[in-house]
Structure formats: C-alpha cells, structure tokens
Amino acid sequence: MSRRRKYATRKEALAAKKAQQAAYRAARKAGTWVRKNRVFSTRIARKAGILTEQEKARASKEGLDMSTRAAWQTSLRRKESEKQKRQEALEEKKAELNLKNEIKWVKVTENYLQKYMEMIDLFFTFIEQGKVKVRVMFRDTEKSPSDLTRDKIDNRYSLLYYQFVKNAFGLCHRDKEDGDKVFLRIYFDEIPYPLEQRDAFKSHILSLQKFWQFRKAGIKIRMDDIAEIVSGKHSIQQCMDIILGSMAFMLNKHNEEIPEGQTERGKRTIAKEKLFFHILGHIRALKGYENFQIYCDTPAEGPVDYWKHPYRHWSFLASEFVK
C-alpha cells in the first residue's frame, strides 16, 4: 500500500513540496538536518514550536525553569519615546565598548567580563531612576501541577505568560496621572510557536483587557501593540537576557559545574559567577533591597508595590502547591 500523501489538486501538491524543500534548505543553512519530522536545530525547532533533542536533555537536568527567558518589556503607549531614549543610550554604550554584535548571557567570557559589567551598570542606572522596571518569573519544575492535560502542556508558554503579564507588573495599580485610559504595548522575543498558534497566543494576551481589574485601571491592549522583535536589534532586551541568564545560572547551580576530566571550574564559569554577583550588588543597592534573595518572591507591603518596585522576582507556584 502506498504511503504517499494525497492532495486534492496538483496545486496543493506543488505547494506542499515547495514547503518541504524550504524546510530542508533552512535546515542545511543552519548546519542541521530534518528527518521524519524530527528537527535538529534550535532555531528551526523554536519556529516550529517544538524542542530539539538537545533542549529536551538540558531541560530534564535543570530543576528550575526561567519562564521569562524570552525576555520582554512593557511600556505605556505615551511613554514610548522615553523607551527609545533608553534604547539609544544602550546602543551608544555598546559602540563605545566596541560591542558590535548582540550581547547575551551565553557570550560572557573572561575577556568580555568588564564590558558586560559596564553595560549592566548603565542598565541599572535606568532601573534606579525608575525608567525601567524588571520582573523575573521562574518556577521549580519539581512542583509541576499533577493535573496537566496535553492541551495545557502544549500551551504552557501561553498560559505562563498570561499570568506573567496579568500579575507580575502590578499594572492594575498603575499611577493614574496619565489619564483614565492607557494603551499597553508588549514586546515578545520571537514567540516559539507556528504562525497559527502565535496568533492564538496573541489573542489570549489580548483578552487580558477584559479582566475586570484591567478595565477598572483603564488599561487597553490592541493587537498591533503585541509585537514580536528580534533581540539582536534591541539592547534593552539584550540586557534583560543577561540578567535572566545570570539568575538561571545561579538558581540551577551551574556556577558549581566542573568540566569533565578537570579538577577546577572553567574560566567562563568563573567569569559568569562574577557577573552574577555584580548584578546582585546592583539589586541590593536599590532602596529597601539590602536583604534581597534571588530564589524567593520579593516581599511587598501591599499590592501597589507590584507596580512601584523597580525590580521583583516571582516564584510561580501552581494553586495545588500554595498553602
């Protein structure tokens, strides 16, 4: 019996063939290959909304999932010009330090440590001035809900980000000085879903404005304001990647790793640990953050602190683990 897929028209068959050939070309260009629907490329896999074998292996070893690894930021529509000023200042600093390409946590080395520290110094200047607010959400993978359906597993990215946008920034407690209504613009770093699923994800985020507390706070979201960006062109996003990477590095105890066959930690590991403590020093220098700990929720005296605080961590727990 033939196992060839049948198409209603010759046009459909040619379109399917072209799509398959395009996938193979993309795989070869990435230095990888595709066989029987198994994709062996992180970049291609993310676009297809699946994990590579390498990512699955790494995920099984790590006890903590940094749910904000796809770093993003929010801004009120009327303050978009201020965000652009921060972006330009960071780009100028990169040029001054001769950092021509994208800066990110995986690129941290002993030779580049000082330059990365200087980028973080500038970024935290904006945080101290209240011009940038940082929220980090993470979860302990050992405390995954026991009643997860296949649908929830397949849409975990969407579900987690919905909770993140809804709760982490305290948007419902925003200052009303900008007027009764504001438009929220959200930037995502390449949503890891196929096109149809990406549209469904954006619709899910869009529905937040129907939440009664969002309506009361006058927060509006438009579909065009839910944007995907390439982090290589956004220095704010790149600095967020460094912060998130440093937290995942320590929370998962990668700073303790010793290469196989060696007796001491590698130079890159030591450099990354130094950068983490540099970042931690900046966080603890913020007013009221002297005793800040990375592995637990940042304390708040009341709900309004979720909006006002310059930097916060949120250890996400499913309802069955909340005491």
- The reply to whether the predicted model has a pTM over 0.85 is no
pLDDT tens figures, 17-75: 777 776 656 655 444 444 434 444 444 444 444 444 444 444 333 334 443 333 334 44
Is 144 part of any domain?
yes
Same domain, 31 and 147: no
Q: How far apart are the first and last CA of the chain?
A: 58
Is 5 part of any domain?
no
Same domain, 17 and 122: no
Same domain, 49 and 91: no
Same domain, 18 and 165: no
pLDDT tier, 7 (very low <50, low <70, confident <90, very high otherwise): low
Same domain, 40 and 106: no
pLDDT at 33: 43
Q: Where is pLDDT greater, at 75 or 165?
A: 165
Nearest Cα residue to 249 out of 69, 53, 113, 46: 69
Nearest Cα residue to 285 out of 133, 126, 128: 128
Same domain, 121 and 245: yes
Same domain, 15 and 77: no
In the numeric block, the tokens 């196929």 are attached to 194
CB of 107 closer than 8 Å to CB of 213? no
pLDDT at 27: 55
Same domain, 38 and 187: no
Is 1 part of any domain?
no
Is 229 part of any domain?
yes
Is 4 part of any domain?
no
H/E element, 224: strand 219-229
Is 69 part of any domain?
yes
Nearest Cα residue to 86 out of 96, 75, 97, 77: 75
Q: In angstroms, rounded to a whole number, what is the distance separating the alpha carbons of residues 257 and 103?
A: 23
* Average pLDDT taken over every residue of the chain: 78
Same domain, 240 and 301: yes
Which structural domain range is residue 257 located in?
A: 65-321
pLDDT tier, 316 (very low <50, low <70, confident <90, very high otherwise): confident
Same domain, 20 and 156: no
Same domain, 15 and 131: no
pLDDT tens figures, 168-211: 888 888 876 655 788 888 888 877 778 788 888 889 899 999 98
The number of domains in the chain is 2
pLDDT tens figures, 218-240: 889 999 998 888 888 899 999 99
- In one letter, which amino acid is 69? R
Residue % of the chain over a pLDDT of 70: 72
